[in-house]
């Protein structure tokens, strides 16, 4: 499980999360940021700096909050399949 950036990031792309990440596992796409699920160390440094509160603690919570499409988009961005 890893942190997931939800749909509130689409079009926002503030970038504070990238700067806060100690291992550089957050990547920018054309529309939003994505967190690489295999690289994320679950430190949570990105969460408090997100100005739109788009970052979820894990996939299950994101899905629970109606962000299932964001979970799948995140994995797809990295060529991975959500388990």
Spell out the per-residue pLDDT of the chain, length 83, in tens: 789 999 999 999 999 999 999 999 999 999 999 999 999 999 999 999 999 999 999 999 999 999 999 999 999 999 999 87
The candidate with the shortest Cα–Cα distance to 17, out of 34, 41, 1, 37, is 34
Contacts of 65 by beta carbon, 8 Å cutoff, 6+ apart:
6, 56
Report the predicted TM-score, pTM, of the whole model to 2 decimal places.
Answer: 0.93
Q: What is residue 70's predicted lDDT score, i.e. its pLDDT?
A: 97
At residue 2, the pLDDT reads 85
Whole-angstrom distance, CA of residue 73 vs CA of residue 51: 21
Q: Where are the beta strands (DSSP E) in 1-83?
A: 4-5, 26-28, 33-35, 55-56
């Amino acid at each position: 499980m890893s942190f997931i950036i939800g749909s509130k990031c689409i079009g926002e792309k503030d970038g504070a999360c990238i700067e806060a990440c100690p291992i550089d596992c957050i990547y920018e796409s054309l529309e939003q940021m994505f967190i690489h699920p295999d690289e994320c160390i679950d430190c949570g440094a990105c969460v408090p700096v997100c100005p739109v509160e788009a970052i979820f603690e894990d996939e299950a919570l994101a899905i629970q909050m109606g962000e299932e499409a964001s979970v799948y988009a995140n994995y797809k961005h990295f060529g991975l399949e959500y388990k």
